[in-house]
Amino acid sequence: MKRIVLLLLLISSKINAQEHFNWGLKEGMTTSRLSGNTYKGFHKFGFVGGGFIKTTLKGNWVVALEIMYTEKGCRNVPTDYSNSYFLQLSYLEFPLLFQYRINRLGIELGPGYGFLMKTKEIIEINGRDYSGTQSFNSREVTFNIGAHYTYSSRFGLNLRFTNSLIPVRKDPSAGGKYYQYGQKNTLLALCLTYEFGNLGSIWR
């Protein structure tokens, strides 16, 4: 995480000299699930944080590139103490977003590419440990859609939905038809953003 911050500071020193670019930091929390298994609901909470650079394309259109550390995964809510499941997948992600802004409100969408940095999976069924029975893919391709609200010239709130475009792991249990497509991350993230730069070129 320290290396990411140093990289952002280095980029910002170059960007601030160009009046048509902004850069900023964002931090927040996630709630996520893993489709393709029997555990329903967004019960896994995590952290998301990083930075971004952006520039105006034309009119109200803005393009932004982000560098984000994101925690995803899944957790069941057990009805007894015999079965438990916990999964945390930590990614370094690079979303490329196209944003359309009207005054203080904007919508955004675009693809993302992620590198899996760390995996923690705990599986316990009837007192037996099945952790680490099948590994996850080291890369992830995502689709992102969200909204951004600016409540001052520098501060804003960002709400985003992210879903894997390709499975992050094949079905580990050889289950029925629903599971044969593999497992995908589904995530909701809420972040506070802070922006530097020539704000007049971005905000309307």
Q: Tell me which residue range forms the domain holding 51.
A: 2-9+30-196
Neighbours of 188 (CB within 10 A): 15
Task: Give the count of domains, the chain.
Answer: 1
What one-character-per-residue DSSP string does the chain give? -HHHHHHHHHHHHHHTTSTTEEEEEEEEEEEEEEETSS--S--EEEEEEEEEEEEEEETTEEEEEEEEEEEEEEE---SSSSEEEEEEEEEEEEEEEEEEEETTEEEEEEEEEEEEEEEEEEEEETTEE-TTSSPPPSEEEEEEEEEEEESSSSEEEEEEEEEESS-SB--TT---GGGTT-BEEEEEEEEEEEEEE-GGGT--
Measured CA to CA, the distance from residue 30 to residue 193 in angstroms comes to 15
What count of residues does the chain have? 204
> Which comes out higher in pLDDT, residue 80 or 178?
80
Given a contact cutoff of 8 angstroms between Cβ atoms, the answer to whether 87 and 124 are in contact is no
What is residue 129's predicted lDDT score, i.e. its pLDDT? Answer: 63
Is 83 part of a structural domain of the chain?
yes
Is 105 part of a structural domain of the chain?
yes
Is 21 part of a structural domain of the chain?
no
CATH number of the structural domain spanning residue 156:
2.40.160.20
What is the residue-averaged pLDDT of the chain?
82
Is 41 part of a structural domain of the chain?
yes
What is residue 83's predicted lDDT score, i.e. its pLDDT? Answer: 73
CA distances from 102 to 60, 136, 148, 202 (A): 7, 40, 10, 11
Q: What is the pTM of this model?
A: 0.80
Span of 2-11, 145-154, 188-197 with lowest mean pLDDT: 2-11
Is 22 part of a structural domain of the chain?
no
Is 146 part of a structural domain of the chain?
yes
Is 204 part of a structural domain of the chain?
no
Is 202 part of a structural domain of the chain?
no
- What are the φ/ψ torsions at residue 192 (nearest 5 degrees)? -95, 135
Mean pLDDT of 37-53: 88
CA distances from 11 to 20, 99, 161 (A): 14, 21, 27
> Which comes out higher in pLDDT, residue 132 or 26?
26
Q: How confident is the model at residue 132 (pLDDT cuts 50, 70, 90)?
A: low
- What are the φ/ψ torsions at residue 12 (nearest 5 degrees)? -65, -35
Mean pLDDT of 23-44: 88
